[in-house]
Amino acid sequence: MNKRGGHGYGTMAERIAATKAAAAPAPRGPEALKHCWVAHEHGRLPGLLIEWRRTAAGWQGRVVHPVPDPDVPGGWILVEEWLPAGSLVPA
């Protein structure tokens, strides 16, 4: 094997850097957040999709969304929960 990288795959350092870049986790900053609609018993509510996960039952999204506050008439509270993908609609 050519030590100088003449084989078309690049040098060992370049191959290691490419492997690390490919294995890097998905961005988790503000650019990874997505607006969505949550199908809820109170109707369609706005939500903020934070991340996805795959379970035995299928895909789920971690979402922050408002729900009516049972203790304050006309009030709202924010909840964070994992919901089935079928409950989420892209904005």
At residue 27, φ and ψ (nearest 5 deg) are -60, 140
Is 65 among the domain residues? yes
Note whether residue 49 is domain-resident.
Answer: yes
pLDDT in tens, the chain (91 residues): 555 555 667 787 887 777 766 655 555 566 678 999 999 887 899 999 999 999 999 999 999 999 999 999 999 999 999 999 999 998 8
Which CATH number does the domain housing residue 45 bear?
A: 2.30.30
- Please give the model's pTM, rounded to 2 decimal places: 0.63
Domain with 63, as residue range(s), is 26-90
Q: Is residue 61 part of a domain?
A: yes
Residue pointed to by tokens 């006309």: 74
